[in-house]
Amino acid sequence: MAKLYFYYASMNAGKSSTLLQADFNYRERGMRTMLWTAQLDTRSEGMVRSRIGLEADAHLYDPATDLWAEVTTRDPVPDCVLVDEAQFLTRDQAWQLARLADEAGIPVVCYGLRTDFRGELFPGSAALLGIADKLVELKGVCHCGRKATMNLRVDAGGGAVHEGEQTEVGGNDRYVALCRKHFSEALGSPT
């Protein structure tokens, strides 16, 4: 039986490279994959890209994309669906992906951030944490060597950003993966 998987982590934990390795493994066995990434991430330009230099073409989704329809109307339908930047999915899209696993029998593997720069769940991540058949935490590393679970947004000078929109596209220039202790110290006590 097909399952819905959610691989989550902080920034810089290897989510995209893990997705690309899974894509390679399926294709090496002669199976068809369908990759998706968020249109919101303007850095992607229709690609899933990893920091270690791997990349592959991907379909773009936005909040209006009906993933169920986009996948099931393909001829032939893919053997596996892989979704990068899954934190940007809507709740409905997460349920569409679950339906692909449950009704169409297509394994769906999602990769994304669990929380934003304030330590709050993204809507897509919250939905996937609630409904995925299998949750897998990928490990990022804080500068202290502990497991990084948080994403600190920083300004141009490297200072912690305390307020702003939940979503701001950026890489190492805008975000630092930290353990909870150093995240809390950078922001000041959240309580």
Q: Output the CA torsion sign for 24, 50, 118, 41.
A: negative
Residue 49: inside a domain: yes
- Is the pLDDT at 20 greater than 90? The verdict is yes
Mean pLDDT of 34-41: 90
Q: Which domain holds residue 118?
A: 4-139
Question: In 10 A of CB 131, how many CB atoms?
Answer: 15
Residue 78: inside a domain: yes
The pLDDT of residue 116? 87
- Is the pLDDT at 13 greater than 80? The verdict is yes
- Is the pLDDT at 74 greater than 70? The verdict is yes
Residue 53: inside a domain: yes
What confidence tier does 137 reach under pLDDT thresholds 50, 70, 90? very high
User: Six-digit token pair at 117?
Assistant: 């720069």
CATH of the domain at 80: 3.40.50.300
Distance CA 64, CA 126 (A): 19
Residue 8: inside a domain: yes
Number of domains in the chain: 1
Question: Kind and range of the H or E element at 68?
Answer: helix 67-72
Closest CA to 131 of 164, 98, 85: 98
Residue 129: inside a domain: yes
The pLDDT of residue 173? 61
**Higher per-residue pLDDT: 175 or 3:** 3
- Is the pLDDT at 167 greater than 80? The verdict is no
Closest CA to 108 of 116, 99, 117: 99
User: Six-digit token pair at 91?
Assistant: 């709740």
What confidence tier does 81 reach under pLDDT thresholds 50, 70, 90? very high
Burial readout 146-184 (b: 16 or more C-beta within 10 A, e: otherwise): eebbbbbbbeeeeebbeeeeeeeeeeeebbbbbbeebbb
Residue 82: inside a domain: yes
Of 32-41, 135-144, 152-161, give the lowest mean pLDDT range. 152-161
Residue 19: inside a domain: yes
Average pLDDT value for the chain = 89
Mean pLDDT of 21-42: 93
Residue 160: inside a domain: no
Could you write out the DSSP letters of every residue in 5-50?
Answer: EEEEESTTSSHHHHHHHHHHHHHHTT--EEEEEETT-TTSTTEEE-
- Is the pLDDT at 187 greater than 70? The verdict is yes
Question: In 10 A of CB 17, how many CB atoms?
Answer: 19
Mean pLDDT of 120-141: 96
Give the catalytic positions in this structure. Answer: 85
